Amino acid sequence: MAHAANKTVLKNGIRILTETMPHTRSVSMGVWVDVGARDESESEQGLSHFIEHMIFKGTEKRSAFQIAKEFDAIGGYTNAFTSMENTCYHAKVLDSHMETMADILSDIFLNSVFDEQEVERERTVIVQEIGMVEDSPDEYLHLLAGKTYWGDHPLGRSVLGTRENILSFGAEQIKAFFRRFYQPEHIIVSAAGNLNAERFVDLVAHRFGAVKAGGGLPSRRPPTGRSRVELCTKDLEQTHLCVATRGLPITDPERYAFSLMSTILGGNMSSRLFQDIRERRGLAYSVYSFSHAYIDSGMSGACAAVDPKNARESIRLILKALRALNEVPVSDTELRDAKEYTKGNLLLASESNDNQMVRLAQNEFHFGRRVPLEEVVEKIESVTADAIRNLALRLFKHQGTALTLVGPVSDASYFESLE
């Protein structure tokens, strides 16, 4: 399982992390910033994601077309994503094209011009992206569930921002946000694959070493979850529902027990919710548990898509399954199967240099070190049934739940009485 890993810290604080995987023929690279949607003020909502789009729209020496063409010419793949707490610009190429990938990714991250004409064009694209999410009940449900549970806290907002904000942002505002938040102490460059660590560091260090330190970032405000029912009436065939309750921060020592508990609840086809709601009762095609973990908090729960007449019964069954976790210890068989399932997913993912590139950066952000897979497996194996029950008692027994429904629904009181 072990691969050769390396960490280099530049004088300005930027960290360069590599993991050599000689059995592959490719290299994955990511430029990460520990900044996301939760770091925006209400008037800035959507700027992190807007910057993610604009990074690919031209630098001092490359146009947007040239950036796309140069990646296509080497058979490479590039993309980016913005989350609540991170933004990442990443690419994957054959190992023989690592130098070209490093040059392009470094250029777009460090030298983007944020041209006003490109801003005008891209704002309409993002507005269409907002509409696409609203037209997808599965995605829209999670967006609304965050708002239901977190309220007005930034974690309850959309990463995409609002239409009003997107239509108002100008190039100067975008550049000012970029300069304020993209500080070297919050930047990580990670790479995994068939690479030579020293060579990779040489390729990027002289470029990123020129980034000047800034004034630091504002501290993040911890959120508080809340209990309530929110309805979004839409003309759909199904009712999409989400029962949300307390989760764990991403660094919580009990995160391994929580992961196994979530798997047992609704993480795979043999899970309790899948077997009860889909297989035995035939109420849903899609039913699953979920967890959104952040540096200081978390939200967890379960989602399903059902016939409107079965919505109330499905919610009752989900709440019953949550209660059962703190009333009766999970069986030895359930626990053993959940451990094997979790280890299997973890170790299979470790064969992907994309996943290892992500793990390098996330481990560094959250723990300040590379967490070996052997350590994770050992922690998973050490979880007991009592640990899961005690965790369920801590999370669910005295905590309320937030319920979000999307579809042909109109009467919140019909669901508020559920316990």
Q: Read off the tokens for 337.
A: 């199967």
Looking at the fold, whether 287 and 327 belong to one and the same domain comes out as: yes
Looking at the fold, whether 146 and 270 belong to one and the same domain comes out as: no
CATH of the domain at 120: 3.30.830.10
Q: Read off the tokens for 96.
A: 């023989």
Any domain includes 217: no
**Cβ(339)–Cβ(260) under 8 Å?**
yes
Looking at the fold, whether 247 and 300 belong to one and the same domain comes out as: yes
From 208, 237, 254, the end of a domain falls on 208
Beta strands in 53-179 (DSSP E): 77-82, 87-94
Helix 385-396, helix 255-266: angle, nearest 10: 90
Tell me how crowded residue 4 is: count the other CB atoms within 10 A of its CB: 11
Any domain includes 396: yes
Q: Write out the H or E segment, with its range, that includes residue 74.
A: none
Q: Read off the tokens for 328.
A: 């009766």
Tell me the pairing of strands 187-193 and 15-20. Answer: parallel
Looking at the fold, whether 262 and 407 belong to one and the same domain comes out as: yes
d(CA 408, CA 403): 15
d(CA 217, CA 204): 24
Q: Torsions phi, psi of 222, nearest 5?
A: -60, 140
Any domain includes 214: no
Helix 255-266, helix 373-382: angle, nearest 10: 70
Any domain includes 80: yes
Q: Among residues 240, 249, 227, which one has the least CA distance to residue 151?
A: 227
Helix 137-150, helix 116-134: angle, nearest 10: 90
389 alpha-carbon distance from chain centroid: 27
Could you tell me where the DSSP H helices lie in 64-136? 64-73, 98-111, 116-134
From 151, 179, 208, the end of a domain falls on 208
Q: What is the per-residue pLDDT for 379?
A: 98
Looking at the fold, whether 352 and 248 belong to one and the same domain comes out as: yes
Q: What is the per-residue pLDDT for 1?
A: 47
**Cβ(37)–Cβ(157) under 8 Å?**
yes
**Cβ(273)–Cβ(371) under 8 Å?**
no
d(CA 267, CA 264): 6
Looking at the fold, whether 311 and 411 belong to one and the same domain comes out as: yes
Looking at the fold, whether 184 and 277 belong to one and the same domain comes out as: no
Q: What is the per-residue pLDDT for 417?
A: 67
Any domain includes 378: yes
Residues with Cβ within 8 Å of residue 279, at least 6 apart in sequence: none
Does the active-site annotation cover 374? no
Tell me how crowded residue 413 is: count the other CB atoms within 10 A of its CB: 7
Cα distance between the two ends of the chain: 46
Q: What is the per-residue pLDDT for 398?
A: 64
Please count the structural domains in the chain: 2
For residue 316, give its domain range: 229-416
**In degrees to the nearest 10, what's the CA dihedral of 376, 379, 380, 386?**
-160
Q: What is the per-residue pLDDT for 276?
A: 98
Looking at the fold, whether 304 and 252 belong to one and the same domain comes out as: yes
Looking at the fold, whether 237 and 203 belong to one and the same domain comes out as: no
Q: What is the per-residue pLDDT for 418?
A: 63
142 alpha-carbon distance from chain centroid: 12
Any domain includes 224: no
User: Cα separations (Å) of 78 from 21, 53, 182, 300, 380?
Assistant: 20, 12, 20, 31, 33
Backbone φ/ψ region at 61: left (φ over 0), alpha (ψ -120 to 50), beta: alpha
**Cβ(214)–Cβ(365) under 8 Å?**
no
Looking at the fold, whether 127 and 187 belong to one and the same domain comes out as: yes
Residues with Cβ within 8 Å of residue 41, at least 6 apart in sequence: none
From 162, 177, 208, the end of a domain falls on 208
Any domain includes 221: no
Q: Which of 40, 52, 85, 364 is catalytic?
A: 52
Tell me the pLDDT of the chain (419 aa) as tens digits.
456 889 999 999 999 999 999 999 999 999 999 999 999 999 999 999 999 999 999 999 999 999 999 999 999 999 999 999 999 999 999 999 999 999 999 999 999 999 999 999 999 999 999 999 999 999 999 999 999 999 999 999 999 999 999 999 999 999 999 999 999 999 999 999 999 999 999 999 999 998 988 766 778 999 999 999 999 999 999 999 999 999 999 999 999 999 999 999 999 999 999 999 999 999 999 999 999 999 999 999 999 999 999 999 999 999 999 999 999 999 999 999 999 999 999 999 999 999 999 999 999 999 999 999 999 999 999 999 999 999 999 998 767 899 999 999 987 776 776 65
Any domain includes 397: yes
Q: Among residues 150, 146, 211, 142, which one has the least CA distance to residue 183?
A: 211
Q: Read off the tokens for 312.
A: 């109330």
**Cβ(130)–Cβ(166) under 8 Å?**
yes
Looking at the fold, whether 236 and 362 belong to one and the same domain comes out as: yes
Looking at the fold, whether 46 and 156 belong to one and the same domain comes out as: yes
